[in-house]
Structure 1
Amino acid sequence: MDSEVQNLIKAKFAYPHLLTFPMLEEAFLCSTLRLAPEWLAMRISTSLNRLILSMLFLFLFSSQGWGLDPKLTRFTTDLRRQQLFQLTESYCQQRLQDSRLPHDLRLQLTVELARTFAQHATTVSSEQQTGLYQRAEELLTSYPRQGLNELEELYLTVNHHLLQLSKGEAAYWEAELYSTESSRSSAREDLTAVIEPASELISQTETWSKARTIATTSAKQSLLTYEELLLLQREFRLNVARTLLRKAQLERGAFSETEEQNNIEPSQSQLTEEYRSSTGLIEVFQKQYEHPDLYFDSHLVEAEWELLLDRYQALEKRLVLLRQRQLSPQIRNSLMSLEARSLLQQHKIVEASKKLHQYQQSGARSEPELDFLTIRAFLELANIAEQQQDQNLKTRLMENIKARLIVIEPGYWAERAKQLFQRKEQEINYGADLQEQIDQAATHARAEKWEAAVTAYSEALKLAEERNATALRAELLYQLGVAQYNLQSYEEAAKLFRQINSEFPESKVRARAHLMLAYCTGRSGNLAEAMTLLQQHREEFPSSATVQEATRLLADLKRGSREYATALPLYRELLDSPLADAKLLESLLNVYQKLVFEDEAVSIEPEKLLSLFRQDFPDALQPVSADNLQRQALIRLTIASLILAVPDEQNNQITSLLAPLLEKQNYNAPTFTELRPQLTFLYSRFLLDSSFSSQQFDEVSRLPVELKLSLYKYLVASPKDQATYHSLRELMERQLQNQKAELSPENQREFLLITLMRKYKENDSLTTLEELKQLELKLKLAPEQIRDIALRLTDSDDPKRLDAALDHWKRLEGLHQAGSESWFETRYYQIALLQKLGNAEEAKKLKRLTLLLHQLPANSAWKSRFDSL
């Protein structure tokens, strides 16, 4: 029978009143339908009875509302223990949707859901962990604390600390997997950061005392009973103790299967102090067998400390003591793991191998960690056999190890076993000196000492060539190429990656080498060739683990080359891949933005683009807040622009889309500054494309004054001969005139300048030239602005405007150095205007005086124009 089905059945019959929601009933029934017909025949009547009873419970709960559920924690804990995480998450989320939930039950369900996310994270890859931890963090930090009593506040705080401790534990195991100084340093920082506040909370006796008082004296049913609060406190102390242990193990590298030592070696006194702090938190639990989980877990933590401190006799006595108890398979495996690690640590390889082999042959259910330890012990035996030249034993051991590598459950321990096997196999086959050289090179690479890494990998490559290690040569060439790449020696690195592709067509690193060749080419500045290589990579290695990274890089390069229509399908291809992180979604959103606002949407029909956008961002629209303003603005502006471009879409959607962005606090926010021009352009189009109603007049009146100025500026710069345009522009100008005091001095000046230039441009009959001149003098215009006005006035047949133009050119003359190109321009227009106004003699006199006092440069653009006067 399928294990998942078995677990569902156990949960269903253990908690009939909890599994009553339609979704969970469906999950249960769908799972049971996969069972053999004969099993269903035996269970059908019982199942129906249970289902009827559970529907009665559902009716009772529905009619009375939910109350605190004392079985909830045990129910969700059991589901998590059986790794039914999705079922637990669905159950909690379904109940949290009930608006009738009292706040204490809502708090209980929120915490259980966060715990489920956190425990689920321990069973997935590091890439998936981040999202689950974020969801748990958001649940606990966003829960409203106002109105919580001391017990509820402590319950929420402790569970938040437990989440942080869980993240620290995950960082520890990740550091042990990658075994790099940077990962260990990062994990040490993470562990230290979570230990200190958690330890401080443990020592706050008054906080715990107040919570205990509520748990024991509350008139109504409290969130936790006294016993449940005590268990929570003990669980918290146990987790802090374990985290102190992980920090010490990490600093000493005690759990690592490699011989490499860390740069930071803790002193014995420091270890002893941490040991006392850790065990002091949990030693009392070792005397309380009434809580088996706490009892065994506290013993296991102290046993780990004894192993870390090389106290082998104490560890052996503890293992004997614990084995006298009734043990679960999980605890039995943990004890075997401790014993095997102790023997390996004491270099008792043969004894460790025998015990592990016998344990697994005894019929006990093994775990990946024990499989890993067996592989580790057998590799050590194979190394000894190689040294003793016992090829028969070595061959049998290596065959056994390879078989174990095939059947070991995929995951963390399988990855560590693979790494260890690769390293030890090389040492056995090619000699310890070559492996030592490779380890030294890897150490330099992890420390980012790339020059030393290049030297060490080059030496290792020579040894590999001497010993005909073909497969190893390809790997070393690749690592040498990576080191050269990090030294920014892109041409040298490219040569090595090309060598791999030409000489080692069957190598496992060929796909990675081909991808790195594309990176080198791009870094060298040849982006076109890099894109060609990446496209070749997608075609030549379609099933490789590197193809998604190549697609991502190709999409980024296409976007950087402004080939947005080509980049779009590449990004969309990655949406269901592990690379679909927040950064990729931002890149995809940016591509949609560019297609919409840089007039390249012609290559993709707006209807199709809008449909694709809605597929890619189905739940993108969220209430706008200060935290998500920039992202929401991008999304809303993109959708609104596409709606405007699609004839069949309802433009009234645009009002609701843009309304939050038009609010003053959002429009004036610094994060929105870069997007204001897009909003101005889009909102102007929307207003101009609409029939301008009285309601829209009211909407425009309520806009932020800064947006009105931007709209007015846009309208003046993009004139249209239509009634809506003139109505809107006049409305903007009138309202800005009335609200001028609300503008900053800079914006006031900009408004007056735009108005001034518009009046000159349109020959506004409502304002006299003298009034405009006074406004000019008040604004203290720059020379180029005066010149712009002068040119507009010059292009006229109205004598008054021509006189005003002459005055402007005279003012400009005084602002330029005599004899310069700009100065000659002012004199030219003065002479031309005098002629046009009928003052030929004065014009002739001014021309003669100009050319007499100042000589035009031979290559001056004004020479021929002066000759034509």
Structure 2
Amino acid sequence: MAFCLTATTVSSAADDSTTKYFAQLRQRRLFSLAEGYCLSRLSEGKLSQGRRTQLTIELSRTLSEHARFTSGQEQTELWQRATAAIDELLKSSPQNPRRLLLQTQRALSLAAQGEHLRWQVELFPYDETLKPRAVAAFDQAILQLKESEKEAAEQLRKTGRRRSADADALSPYELRSLTNHLGFQIGQALVERAKLDPAGSPDRVATLMEAESWLSRLAKRSAEQALTLDSRLLMAESSRMRGDRKQTAAVLKSMQSENSARELLDRMKAVEARLMLDEDRATDAAQLLSRYRVERLRLPGELQYLQIEALSSLWAVAEGRKQDDLATQLTEQIEAHADRAEAEVGGFWAYRCRLLVETMRETKRYGVELATVVREARSNYSAGRIDEAVEAYGRAYETAERGDNDEIAMEIGYTRASVQLQSKNFNAAAEGFEQLANRFPKDSRAATAHLLSAYSLGRAYEQKRTKLRREKYTNALVRHRTGYPKHETMAEATWMLASLEERRLQVTRALKLYREIPVDHRRGPLAEVAVARCYEKILDRVRELERPIETWENDAIARLATMTSVYANQQSPLGIEQTEVCLRFARICLNRARPDYRRGAKLLDLIEASRIRQMREQQSDPAAETDVVKRRWKLLYQAATQLRIVTLAGGGRFDEAKSLIETLADADARDVLGILDGLSELTANADTKTRNEMGKLQFDAAQELDRRRNELKPTEQKRLDHCLGQAYVATGRSTEAIKVYESLLSQTPKDRRLLKTVAELLTDCGTRECLLNAKTQWRKLESMERAGEPAWMSARYQVVWCLFALKEHDECRKLLAVTRLLYPALGGDELRSRFAELEKKLPAKR
């Protein structure tokens, strides 16, 4: 029975139809529609007091009912709005003749809140916050209901049979109906409140006796009234809860002859089934509900739950007696009933049915004692009480371990550590997983647990990057690779260690590790990309340090040539990772001292042929890829187009390169920018003619794109300026290039790459003004690097060179002497040699 005002409190046919209208909306869960209609009508100024009161009550009821189907903050807000709607009208119209109805609805809203919280207590018995909230809601509701009942009875006594002259005032009939209704709701609230006390406790018995004293007055009335039958049935339920089974049976028997409505009959069957279960007559309860299902065709949620509860009791007996065949049959029946409840009823009762099934499974798997603790842990986790869940899983783990059940102990320990990992308690998770791997080394999950221990340490390192945490993470991965060399987790550990080394800029170590990952492993394709990426980084670094590059270049070409030869022979189009490998390999070929345009062109041809095949296949399944994947493909194809322009120019096919650029004229401005940016830099090692031609092509295209500048975002406009600067440099127009780059540098003065570009251009310019400015820029760059490191020493050399070029020889000598004194190595052999050559050029000191 729901806590609500019934139609008996409304006298007119119009009011009755309105009540039914809102009841139907709530039944269909059209809460927003009902709430919107109420709020819209209440906002009208010309409403009678009675109409405004009724709409406010319906709004409060709707908000209360809506709250039952939500959770968290939204639910709390709906409960608050349900009472606030009543309070606002009570405050604005203190003389409202139907004030009593508003007060009653406010109390019933609290009772409905208490009932919902009591249901939550049943679902989550280990959540200690729910019961006090439910008790408080019921106690407050009961107090307010009693006050309203007293006031209604007093008004009825004073009014007698006379009707008030005020049309909105409650009639004697309405007051009488309201008084009876309040008495029933008080009894119902007391019965629901008693369910929160332990069975057989003095508090429960006292609360139920008080409930029966309220209900007994209504139960003695004519059986033709629905409220009378509801009161009798509620008294039967109260008697059952007190343990007075004879009284319960007597009341139910007396009601059997009544021509009861289906809804009342359903509730009678529920009380009868619960009575049988109380008396350990699970077989009778199951048979009762089975017969009733045949009569009714479909059971309501509570009866479906009770049927499963009866069958579960029979299953427990069969399990205890080792009647395996019977237990199996009962299990199948229980699961079928749970599926049916989910399909036919859903909601609260279906969830409770499913919980019964899970309880049965857990009892069979873990035993009664352990299953109870596991349920407690799971309930705490579901309610978001992570610390309590971890503690309960810990107790369950200890219980399982004492029982010498290694498999279950591993399962529970694994779950506990997983919860700790998910809750970002990384160190505790790492300890838990490692303990499991060491305690149960023969378990199939031991290797995975050990890897998760390492992973947890890695997350701890990411959380706070300290040397100690990094070493713990590294050592854990090394131990895993040593301890599980043939397990499938070996490759994953290698990937994690390689990624760590790459992030730490230990690219050579990372490369070696990436190469160990099998191609057919799930990380295999990404590992191949990482191999190509590491080769690129190493080659760029060797060039930057001006060290011999042939060995590394030959190794990269040999490795990547073997890798890509497999791609060329496969039947399917290139995957996204394979395309990236080809692209990086082509870039390596073009960045050689003597660019290998032929090999680069072959790799780009492979990408293009694969792209065409892929486009054909996508026509049959256009939604096969996500937007993220499509974006990644787009960037790869833009880079491939950029490299194709370079290979054409490098091969002397300038007209074809120009034509390819011209085909971009109608493309999206951002796509064109992605291709032009850095284009001339890719020909840095080409001959003079190729560089100049490439520079002209980029310059013309960049100028054309500059006319569409307004199509680009501010950050993209900066990239376009970079393109123009690169084109100016490539075509030997250093003055214009300096202006462009200095403008960009003024916007981002701490951009090291840009600062270095400006400094190099100013140095190459060679005028006194340029050299003075270059010296300033090199000093800024020097201040951004760590003293003594190669990058710092390279910037220091340029400062010294500028002093020499400006003929500030004394200052040049002093800076050279200080640098040599503080940093004798001078950044390595190459830089030391350059310092020595510069020193020889200095004129003798006068």
What's the TM-score bracket when you normalise by the shorter of the two chains?
0.3 to 0.5
Task: Please tell me whether Structure 1 or Structure 2 has the larger radius of gyration of its CA atoms.
Answer: 2
Q: With the length of structure 1 as denominator, give the TM-score of the two structures.
A: 0.45
